[in-house]
Structure 1
Amino acid sequence: MVIEVRDGVAVVDGVPRVLVTADYPYYRDDPAVWADRLRAVRDELGIEVITCYLPWRHHQPEAGTAPDFTGLTHPARNVTGFLELCRELGLGVVAKPGPFIHAEVNYGGLPDWVCPDADPAIEPLLDSAGTPSRWADATAPAGRALPAPLGPVFLARATQWLSAVGKEVLAGAEAVVALQIANEGIYTSGALPLTAYDYSPSGLAFFRDRLRSWYGTTQAYNAVHGTAYAGWADVAPSGVGLLAQADWGRFHAEYLAEVYRVWARAVGSELPVFVNLNPPTVPELDDWLARVRPELWGGISYGFTNWMGVVSADRDAHARYVIAAKRAPGPNLEENWGFSELYDPAYIDGATSFHQSLLALAAGASGFNVYTGVAASGWGPELDAGHEGPYPDSAPIDADGAATGKAPVVRALADYFAAHGAEFLECVPVRRDAFGLYLPYAGIAALSGALSDSLSGSPAGPAGPQCGRALRAFHERMRVRGLDYGLVDLESVSAEELAAYRTVTVPGGPFMHRRVQELLAAYAAAGGRVLVDGPVPTLDERLAPCALIAPADPPADAGEGLVLYGEADAYLRSHPTRDVHHLVVLVRTGNEGPVGVRTPYGTAEVVAAEGGGAVLRLAGGELGDLVVRGLNAYLDCAVEASVRLNGVRVGAPGPGDLIRIR
């Protein structure tokens, strides 16, 4: 198995595929059962690609000793043997060597000897107040200081670890098809405020180096910012003024990109590299938008995770999840399929994870991960002192290796996308409107507190340029109308990409890059509509006069939404050259009765469980393959899953799921 990644899509042995994977934390289990559990993933779940973290603290617990990858010091450290088992069973592997992994492992998987508290030579990560950022767990409830990623001592040690993985584990492992670097940002910190990091000496040195590359000289910087700095060392981080705040947001984007690049290079592998960003929180939406700029990452591919709530019941969680899925092409690399005790009891039933996995794909993801596919037990407190087995509590394959009630649901999705994944990706989402991200406003809003909305999403806080609040309001308007939408970065989108939409909504404010204004003006001249949420910009990025945008009125609501009745969300993808469509219907918690959905062939009526949903293939005027979830034990909901199209009904024989594939 050979995987390439093209525009966020996994191309497996030359064929684009929806990347369906399952995580197995080998380091938490008895090596004697590894082969059995891997067979269960392959045979019961129908999944051909495993993901697994390689915890640094597990393989190299002591400073000054070489990492153990062969089980010399403990059988569960024999990751080379684990990967060979995967090869023998025909399974590919996405290896995830961190160096920070979270995964409910002590100190996020970092060895204790890289903690600044233990070694004063290691520079700590600092927040805006100069306080070290700390990671709390059962072994250190008050938290342990985290190392600054670009600090020279830690960077050298992290590079040694990643290089050892590359040379001693990956170089001879035929099963490994891709890598994932870091976890949810750097230290599960992708959604933290811009004031949370990095104010360490190494971080500020990188910030000032970026300023030098952007402005050239301090004199040029002073001319734009109205300051009188004598040298770069005098420039304060996250300073006062709109442009200084925008600079700090831009620094965060380049800082994250630099850490990703440095760590990926350290592995020394030619394999494709993913990252997995955690979705934004509601209060820190602008912080996340300012920091997460996949356009800067070069050959590193975007991916994201779940862990934000039950999207079928929580509109905030829904918005955060959809925005994460739309930010850039790439797979969902951690969907919660197993943790009901640690996160939310709704995950005890597979309907919740089924709904969210389909939402990710419908909103724009190119794959999903079952996290974790297998429950494990048998680790020591040196690895995880805070949790008891099994980990997780309700996985599709339990800690004894038996398939649970979730297994057929995973298998149905895996089989559907094995049969139709390439076609699904060829089909074009039906989206006529887009939101244009102008990310300098995200940095400004994050630092000025402009996005201080409550969880209800109502506007609050000081006035000023912002991006997140406008995006959230746009998302809610589109969801109420039942319409899908595109999400584009105005500083990198092409004229051809923008031309695919009838409208683009942009956040308003005092300035906007001249080239962005020129792009929007040309789009409008060609017939597109530019809608501005707020003041129309009259200055360029250097605050020189520039007023090229003529905002249009929004188009009348023509009743284009897909959902005709019932409480649900629907997404349609249509093939550009063939009469083939894929329809995803996601039933919200609280819905009772059928859901009517507009299709190219008339109304389809879908009966599915609360919090469940359906994926349907439509071709030549008829209903083809489908998967419909009719059960949700958590909500005590059991219906006869069915679909009716043009008078023809396909249904389950009784309360339960409906699965028809080939």
Structure 2
Amino acid sequence: MVIEVRDGVAVVDGVPRVLVTADYPYYRDDPAVWADRLRAVRDELGIEVITCYLPWRHHQPEAATAPDFTGLTHPSRNVVGFLALCHELGLRVVAKPGPFIHAEVNYGGLPDWVCPDADPAFEALLDASGAPSCWADAAAPGGRPLPAPLGPAFLARAGEWLSAVGKEVLDGAEAVIALQIANEGVYTSGALPLTAYDYSASGVAFYRDRLRAWYGTPEAYNAAHGAACGDWAEIEPPTAASGPLAQADWGRFAAEYLAEVYRVWTQAVGSDLPVLVNLNPPTVPALDDWLARVRPELWGEISYGFTNWMGVVSADRDAHARYVIAAKRAPGPNLEENWGFSELYDPAFIDGATSFHQSLLALAAGATGFNVYTGVATSGWAPELDAACAGPYPDCPPIGADGGPTGKAPVVRALAGFFAAHGAEFLECEPVRRDAFGLYLPYAGIAALSQDGGGPGCGRALLDFHERMRTRGLDYGLVELESASLAELAAYRSVTVPGGPFMHRRVQELLAAYAQAGGLVLVDGPVPALDERMAPCALITPSAPPPASDESLVLYGEADAFLRSHPVEDVHYLVVLVQSHNEGPIGLRTPYGTVEVVAAQGAGAVLRLADGQVGDVVIRGLNAYLDCAVEAGVRLNGVRTGAAGPGDLTRINGRLV
């Protein structure tokens, strides 16, 4: 099997594929059951790709000893044997060596000996107040300082760890097809405010280095900022009282800082495998911070991916917005979807309907795959690995603690089977989207630091746009304006952009050309009159909004719906996501007329429509958490296909399952 990642899509042996994976934390389980659990994932869930973290603290608990990857010091450290077993069973693996992994592991998977409290040689990660950024868990409830990623001592030891993984684990491991670096930013920190990090000496040095690269000379910096700095070392990180251009610079620094950490860690592994990352979705109050920091356009060959962990989207509008924005930010797979945690996370996840809904929403919004996190319940780890969870971990996954399938297994298998049959075609189909939001990310950096909410920003305008589009029942695109082309904008009827005092000249020229070609430029706020160096530049003439019309896919019922259509064939995919408070069937506008779907509250459906008929479908009819059981079904032109009694409806390759 040869895998590439092209524009966020996994291409396996030359064929685009919806990347469906399941996580198995081998280090939490008895090696004697590894083979049984892997077979269960393969046979009961229909999943062929395993994801697994490699906890640094587990494999190298002592600084003076080399990492153990073969089980010499403990059988559960034999990751080389685990990967060989995956290969023997016909499974492929996405390996995730951190160096920070979270995963409910003590100190986020870092060994205790890299903590600045344990060894002052390790520089601490600092926030804007100069306080160390700490990681709190059951082993250290008060928190332990995290090491600065670019600090020389940690950079060297993390590089040694990743290099050892590359040479001793990945080289020659036939099962491994891709690599994930880091977790949810650097230290599960991708969604934190820009003031959270990194104000350490190494972080500020990188900031000044970036200023030198952007401006060239202190004189050029002074001219743009109205400053009088004689040397780069005189420039301090901006604050809420700083000018907007300095605040925008800090936002750009945060993005390049994340890109640099990803780059050096990837380089340390020394592998030719495709590399992905997973970003946690934004928090709504800190949306501008997330937008400023998360810029996949800077990552080169490293591909975007994201995680779940933001709430129950069928019941929470903020969670829905966060999820959709994360999925739309760039093409890439959802690399952690909660399918196993109810006690630790939210009781709604006791039923597979919640995870089914969210996995489909990610794919509908733009994701190119989904992950079952975790696929298997595990038990038997030592407190030095995880002092919080008593086991099993997690409490309600598709494969239970006894190794047998739970009630979630058929749901996962149906979804995996549907996309195994139709994934390539699904990806070929184009989302039906007429309007887009244009991200202008310098405004995000300004809003993240200014704190008064009175200046320019990007997050508020994006959230308002998202809510307008969702209320109207419409899908939309998300475009990053500083890297966009005219062809990208031309795919949309209108582009809404945040307003403010300045905008890059190149971006203004792009929007003016788009308007000249017939596109509608809608400005949320003041029309920019300056360029990025504060020179006069007013090239944008806002358009009038398009006339209101009834374009919603949802005709009746409380649901979100997304349509994808093939560019040359009469094939369409309809994703229907039922809100938790819905009562009754959902009526939907399609190219073939009205389709009616019956699905459980908080659940959903995916349908393949072709040649005027409903083809394969997966519809969830049960949600025990909401005490809802319906006869899942679909009706088009008076022809109904449905479950015989309360339950799910699955038809794959024309056969009811």
TM-score range, shorter chain: over 0.9
Alignment length (residue pairs): 651
Q: Match for residue 320 of structure 1?
A: 322
Give matches, 1:545-564, under 5 Å: 545-564=536-555
Partner of 2:147: 147
Counting only pairs closer than 5 Å after superposition, residues 61-72 of structure 1 correspond to structure 2 as 61-72=61-72
- Kindly state the Cα deviation for residue 557 of structure 1 after the two structures are TM-superposed: 1.8
Q: Deviations over 1:361-396 (max 9, x none)?
A: 000000000000001000010100011100000000
3-state DSSP of counterpart to 2:342: coil
Q: Give yes or no for the alignment of 1:624 onto 2:620.
A: no
Give the match for residue 161 of structure 2: 161
Alignment-derived partner of residue 341 in structure 1: 343
Q: Secondary structure at the match of 2:141?
A: strand
2:257 pairs with 1:255? yes
Shift of 1:488: 0.4
Q: Identify which of 281, 292, 306 aligns with 2:283.
A: 281
Equivalent in the alignment of 2:592? 601
Q: Using the alignment, how far apart are the partners of 1:502 and 1:480 within structure 2?
A: 19
Separation of aligned partners in 1, 2:647 and 2:484: 45
Residue type of the partner of 2:371? N
State which drifts further: 426-435 or 462-471.
462-471
Partner residue, 2:214: 214
What's the CA shift string for 1:458-485, capped at 9, x where partnerless? Answer: xxxx311010000000000000000000
Matches of residues 230-379 of structure 1 in structure 2 within 5 Å?
230-239=230-239, 240-379=242-381
Instruction: Establish whether residue 508 from structure 1 lines up as the match of residue 499 from structure 2.
Output: yes
Deviation string for 1:68-98 (max 9, x for gaps)?
Answer: 0000000000000000000000000000000
C-alpha distance in 2, partners of 1:92/1:349? 28
Q: Distance in 1 between matches of 2:538 and 2:40?
A: 61
What is the CA deviation profile of residues 127-162 of structure 1, one whole-angstrom value per residue up to 9, with x for unaligned ones? 011101000001111100000000000000000000
Report the secondary structure of 2:195's partner residue: coil
Give, in angstroms, the shift of residue 238 of structure 1.
2.1
After TM superposition, give the deviation of residue 180 of structure 1 in Å.
Answer: 0.3
SS of corresponding position for 2:395:
coil
Deviations 1:407-453 (Å, cap 9, x if unpaired)?
Answer: 00000000000000000000000000000000000000000125xxx
2:202 matched to which residue of 1? 202
CA displacement at 1:236 relative to structure 2: 1.3
Residue 445 of structure 1 corresponds to which residue in structure 2? Answer: 447
Alignment of 1:30-41 (within 5 A): 30-41=30-41
Alignment of 1:536-551 (within 5 A): 536-551=527-542
CA distance in 2, matches of 1:344, 1:234: 48
Aligned amino acid, residue 578 of structure 1: E
Runs of 4+ off more than 4 Å: none
Paired AA for residue 484 in structure 2: V
Structure 1 unpaired stretches of 5+: 451-461
Aligned to 1:656: 647
TM-score for the superposition, normalised by structure 2:
0.99
Establish whether residue 57 from structure 1 lines up as the match of residue 49 from structure 2.
no
1:100-121 CA deviation, whole Å, 9 max, x = no partner? 0000000000000000000001
Residue deviations 1:561-612, cap 9 Å, x none? 1000000000000000000000000000010100000000000000000000
Cα shift readout 1:178-197 (whole Å, capped 9, x = no counterpart): 00000000000000000000
Q: Residue 643 of structure 1 aligns to which amino acid in structure 2? A: V
Aligned-residue identity in percent: 83
What is the alpha-carbon distance in structure 1 between the residues aligned to residue 441 and residue 423 of structure 2? 33
Q: Give 1:420-435 correspondences, 5 Å limit.
A: 420-435=422-437
Report the Cα distance in structure 2 between the residues aligned to 1:338 and 1:33, rounded to whole angstroms: 19
- Measured in 2, the distance between the counterparts of 1:340 and 1:141 equals 22
**Counterpart of 2:473?**
482
For normalisation by structure 1, the TM-score amounts to 0.98
Q: Distance in 2 between matches of 1:236 and 1:62?
A: 38
Could you tell me which amino acid in structure 2 is paired with residue 136 of structure 1?
A: A
Secondary structure (helix, strand or coil) at the match of 1:396 reads coil
**Alignment RMSD:** 0.5
Distance, in Å, in 1 between the alignment partners of 2:645 and 2:651 is: 15
Mapped partners of 2:48, 2:388: distance in 1 = 31
Counterpart position of 1:27: 27
Equivalent residue letter for 1:439: L
